[in-house]
Amino acid sequence: MYYKFNGFTQKLVGAAAEEAYNPQGLRPFAYPEAPAPIFATPTRLPSEAGSEYLGKNRVPELQKLFQKPDGIPVHLKRGFPDKLLYRTTMALTVGGAIYCLIAIYIASQPKKN
């Protein structure tokens, strides 16, 4: 026996093989012709696209920097900005943890009438 999901009752119900394998909304549909373009701008294939970004490719430089075995963690390899972000994140994390503990302590105290 075949089953399909009934969206109204939210349960599995018995069904014919065709309904079970092709549920409503998932039936294959073939367009007889390509749909009309929505926008008037022409589209280019990836093979036709030229090099529009004229900047320098920095990936090889960054690979050399991050793969250098100098014992520095990857998240600190770019110097001062990385250290500043790391320390700010750690300070906010510790501050948030302390704030949560204080809030839990205050919430655990009985209300004085």
Which pair of tokens denotes residue 47? Answer: 């093979």
Determine the 3-state secondary structure of 29 from DSSP: coil
Angle in degrees, CA 98, 84, 82, rounded to 5: 120
The predicted pLDDT at position 5 comes to 76
Residue 113 CA to residue 105 CA, distance in Å, equals 18
pLDDT < 70 regions, the chain: 20-31, 40-54
Q: Measured between alpha carbons, how far is 37 from 71 in angstroms, rounded to an integer? A: 55
pLDDT of residue 44: 65
Q: What is the pLDDT of residue 56?
A: 85
